[in-house]
Amino acid sequence: MAIDNQKTQIIIEDHVVPQLLTSAIEAYQHGDVTSIGTRLRNKLETYGLLWGYTLPARAGVPARIVAVTSTVEVSADRQRDSVDPIRASLKQKREFFETYWPNLELVGTFHSHPYKDLDEIKKNQGWRASGEDGDLGHWRGIHDEICPEYSHLAHIIVSVVCLDRKSTKWPERLGGNEAFTGYKLGAGNYRIWVKGYSTEREELADYIHEDEDGDAKANEGCNDEVEAFDRFGVSEEGYVLDSDGNILSYSDVEDESGFSPFNGLRDL
């Protein structure tokens, strides 16, 4: 697709991808383990922050959010259907980066969605963000509490399922319209979905509400439904939109190193 200069691209640098995938797999497989190796719980969610820089749209090139490293919130309250980081920890990390790595700023978050099998994740479309009581509400809070001066942030969801059989499946784009927002792959016993969202900090109270399924919907009387959702960067279907209501585009896969297939996991 042609790249519009109004679109925002999420770029995950190649060396960041293993950090996201392995932290999600670890929380899924090992969860909470005691000092003597006793497993207390597994199939837990995990949470972390993305660090990097943003580039504004210019000269026909879209605005970009670039993640060059990540950190994991080991103190987060990890459950099987939710994860809640300690806000003081998020603020502390941001202050730490501002002091010692001022060239890197907080550009987003990542977290995982664990599911017991393929049927469950497909039934729940578990690679997508949850509603206002979940992911959307949390992302709003990150804007308000942690990054009130930032207009845009990136958010990555890593969804994991463990199968009985092992196989390797190289990354391929999600199906249908979601191809523009993420990838799916296989690594050993694990099937992994990686989906990206971008959010824009705006007040939404006058524009959206939750439907009976917990999904964001435009309030009655809102003249431009797409614009209303785009105020938070997420459409009602869960796709990333630009300011014109078009689904976010990404560049074709380019294996710059000639080896790692994850070089293609750039523009979500």
Q: Print pLDDT tens along the chain (268 aa).
A: 112 224 678 989 989 999 999 999 999 998 876 555 666 788 999 999 999 998 887 887 777 899 999 999 999 999 999 999 999 999 999 999 999 999 999 999 999 999 999 999 999 999 999 888 899 889 988 988 998 888 789 999 999 999 988 888 888 999 888 887 889 999 899 999 999 988 876 544 443 444 555 554 444 443 333 232 333 333 333 334 344 444 433 332 233 333 334 443 444 5
Give the pLDDT of residue 156.
Answer: 95
What pLDDT is recorded for position 99?
96
Q: What pLDDT, on a 0 to 100 scale, did the predictor assign at position 113? A: 96
In the prediction, which pLDDT does 178 show? 85
Which pLDDT score, from 0 to 100, does residue 262 have?
42
- The amino acid present at 140, given as its one-letter code, is R
Distance CA 126, CA 105 (A): 29
Would you give the DSSP letter of residue 249? P
Q: What's the pLDDT score for residue 119?
A: 93
Phi, psi of 141 (to 5 degrees): -65, -35
* pLDDT score recorded for residue 212: 57
Domain boundaries, given as residue ranges, for the chain: 8-264
**CA dist., res. 21 & res. 207, Å (int):** 35
Largest Cα separation within the chain, whole Å, is: 60
Residue 186 is predicted with a pLDDT of 92
- The H or E element spanning position 8 is strand 8-12
